[in-house]
Amino acid sequence: MNANTISMLDRISGSISIVGSMNADYTVTAKRLPKPGETIAGGPLRILPGGKSGNQAAAAARIGASVSMFGAVGSDANADFLLGKLNDAGVDTTHVRRADGASGTTVITVDDNGENTIVYSAGSNATVSVDYIESRKDVLLKSSVLGLCLESPIETVTATAKMCHDAGIKVLLNDSPFTDKLPNELIAYSDILLVNEHEMAQLLNIAEPKNDDWLGMDWNYIAHVMHDFGFKQAVVTLGADGAIIIEKDHTYHVDAAKINAVDTTGCGDAFMGTLLAGLSSGFSLSDSASLASYVAAYAATGYGAQASYGSAKQIKDFFTCPTQQNA
């Protein structure tokens, strides 16, 4: 446990705008994940708040950042449920619009090892238009950092990145759900890319290492390829091996916090939300990623996405009190 990193939770400040998705997560646990065409028995169904962008907003707000959410919910019962949970986390949902029809949903299966499968239905998230973003421009441009993922229409994501980048706001793009066909404009207007190791390899057309030895890769070469692709700054998460930070000509390795995971759903979003919180607080990208490793690890100790996110105090107590980790 790195006490200096954990202490950064006491210095979270700044303002964040997040544009994107909010989903109701229909989650069931099972001893193992089903094979194609197979039916297996699972535990009780739980309906939990989710959506990559909603998760990121909740994670950042819970550790003390000032977060405004932009997106759309539907006209169903899930709409009030999703907005209520974000409000409980401290997220400003004033600017979220309501659309006719269903809110976004996901169907998630979690096995005994904490691994999961996820099926996403966009619902109201598909209605987040460029016109909607233009109508919220004055509010969006009050933030210091913008968070984007790809559960909204790509033209809206690109227009939002351009609007904020041109205004001097740092843009962090999470290429998830993953596509290797990022528009050139979106690349140009995004300051930092967040991907996992497999997404990085596919995006840059780099062969994956034998025996999953990602730390043994030539990361200086990968940084060069990443620069040529269009990103001078990037974070590549490596699961239990931590993350690699690419900043211009330098690469840094960040260790993962060690815990006993029960459910990894939403951990990547907790990592992203913490990156946004750190950057908005004036922390370096590598320091923000170091803090994110702890916040994401804490999330893996509980079930669900937003439901597993901790406050700054809960996270500090967990990692500074051995009895908490063994509870």
How much is the average pLDDT of 199-211? 96
Condensed to tens digits (0 to 9), the pLDDT of residues 2-39 reads 888 999 999 999 899 999 999 998 989 999 999 999 99
> Tell me, which fold does domain 3-21+52-96+124-325 have in CATH?
UDP-N-acetylmuramoyl-L-alanine:D-glutamate ligase (3.40.1190)
Percentage with pLDDT > 70 across the chain: 98
Per-residue pLDDT, averaged over 149-178, amounts to 97
DSSP calls for 93-158 = -TT-EE-SSPPEEEEEEE-TTS-EEEEEE-GGGGG--HHHHHHTHHHHTT-SEEEE-SSS-HHHHH
What mean pLDDT comes out for the span 85-104?
Answer: 97
Tell me what pLDDT residue 325 has. Answer: 57
Query: Which percentage of the chain shows pLDDT scores above 90?
Result: 84
The pTM is what?
0.92
Predicted pLDDT at 51: 92
Strands (E), the chain: 15-19, 23-29, 46-50, 66-70, 72-73, 97-98, 104-110, 116-121, 145-148, 170-174, 192-196, 233-237, 243-247, 250-254
Average pLDDT, the chain: 94
Q: Give mean pLDDT, residues 288-308.
A: 93
Q: Is 131 exposed, middle or buried (CB count within 10 Å of its CB: 0-12, 13-18, 19+)?
A: exposed
Query: What are residue 196's DSSP bridge partners?
Result: 237
